[in-house]
């Protein structure tokens, strides 16, 4: 079962191509990196046992499966076919019978309902072309009183680790697309006032937004993979000639070097925890 929609055609193209394949192939590593965020979201939404929980932008399924382990009936939705395939494979390996996954654009997906009793997301809701329409569609899938809890990144300035490759190699990559404030993307929800307005305008109530800072770690080998496979600079590497690619990769390594101590990279992830009710 899948539904796609042209409303987020650019994101669909991105996450069903190199970006989605890279996330799927590195999903075990990335989910280890982001594991500390899973209990934060689930603890915020409260008891989930026997409740139907919707995970938006579920990626390879870590949050959906964690909710299922707590007794929820979880549905994960993601626009990326490679990530949904990875999520289904992970669920099969774990023998999970309480987690299901569908490919679809949550901005326009026709959910059966209203039947969900909670909505969660770990960095999966910042990519909508029309976030008011998206959160309105998601609210319509919720039962009255259902709670929303999601994490979104704060600003790029507060998350320097995640833009280290761009800052180091930008002068070598004139084709590097600029980040657009407030546009769909990793830092699309950096402005908490904008997030509050989006949720209010789409019919959510009791909106609360607070900062969350989490210490994250990865080993040196994982850091190398991260730099070469993740993010806008990595997406350009396959199209570069050998000389320019080698120099960009050298710059990537240099950009991440300040975070490396004793073969381990450490950085602080600056996020918003956002809650609301339907």
pLDDT the model gives residue 227: 95
R_g (Cα) of the chain, nearest Å: 18
From residue 172, give the alpha-carbon distance in Å to each of 164, 165, 167, 235, 241.
14, 11, 10, 14, 12
145 domain-assigned? yes
Task: Domain count for the chain, please give it.
Answer: 1
Is 193 part of a structural domain of the chain? Answer: yes
Ranges of residues in the chain whose predicted pLDDT is under 70: 1-6
**Which domain range does residue 38 map to?**
2-156+177-217+270-277
Q: Is the pTM of this model over 0.85?
A: yes
Task: Report the CATH number that the domain containing residue 33 is assigned in CATH.
Answer: 3.40.50.150
Dist CA 179 CA 233 (whole Å): 12
- What is the Cα–Cα distance from 238 to 20, expressed in whole angstroms? 15
- What whole-number distance in Å separates Cα of residue 119 and Cα of residue 215? 25
- Would you say residue 167 lies in a domain? no
Is 188 part of a structural domain of the chain?
yes
Residue 27 placed within a domain: yes
In a domain, 240, yes or no: no
* Residue 136 belongs to some domain of the structure: yes
DSSP letters, 185-231, are: STTTT--HHHHHHHHHHTT-EEEEEEEEEEEEEEEHHHHHHHHHHSH
pLDDT reported for residue 146: 97
Residue 237: closest CA among 166, 162, 157: 166
């Amino acid at each position: 079962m899948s539904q796609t929609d042209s409303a987020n055609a650019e994101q669909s193209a991105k996450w069903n191509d190199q970006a989605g394949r890279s996330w799927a192939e590195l999903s075990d590593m990335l989910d280890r990196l982001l594991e500390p965020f899973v209990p934060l979201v689930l603890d915020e939404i409260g008891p989930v046992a026997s409740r139907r929980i919707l995970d938006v932008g579920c990626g390879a399924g870590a949050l959906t499966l964690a909710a299922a382990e707590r007794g929820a009936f979880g549905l994960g939705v993601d626009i990326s076919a490679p990530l949904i395939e990875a999520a289904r494979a992970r669920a099969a390996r774990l023998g999970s019978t309480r987690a299901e996954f569908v490919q679809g654009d949550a901005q326009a997906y026709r959910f059966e309902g209203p039947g969900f009793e909670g909505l969660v997301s770990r960095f999966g809701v910042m990519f909508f072309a029309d976030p008011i329409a998206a959160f309105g569609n998601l609210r319509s899938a919720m039962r009255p009183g259902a709670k929303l809890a999601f994490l979104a990144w704060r600003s790029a300035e507060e998350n320097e680790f995640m833009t280290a490759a761009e800052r180091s190699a930008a002068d070598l990559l004139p084709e590097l697309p600029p980040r657009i404030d407030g546009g769909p993307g990793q830092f699309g929800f950096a402005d908490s006032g904008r997030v509050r307005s989006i949720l209010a305008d789409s019919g959510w109530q009791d909106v609360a937004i607070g900062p969350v800072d989490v210490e994250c770690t990865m080993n040196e080998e994982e850091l190398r993979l991260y730099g070469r496979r993740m993010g806008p600079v990595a997406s350009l590497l396959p199209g570069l000639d050998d000389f320019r690619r080698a120099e960009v990769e050298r710059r990537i390594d240099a950009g991440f070097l300040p975070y490396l101590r004793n073969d381990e990279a450490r950085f602080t992830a600056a996020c918003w925890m956002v809650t609301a009710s339907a």
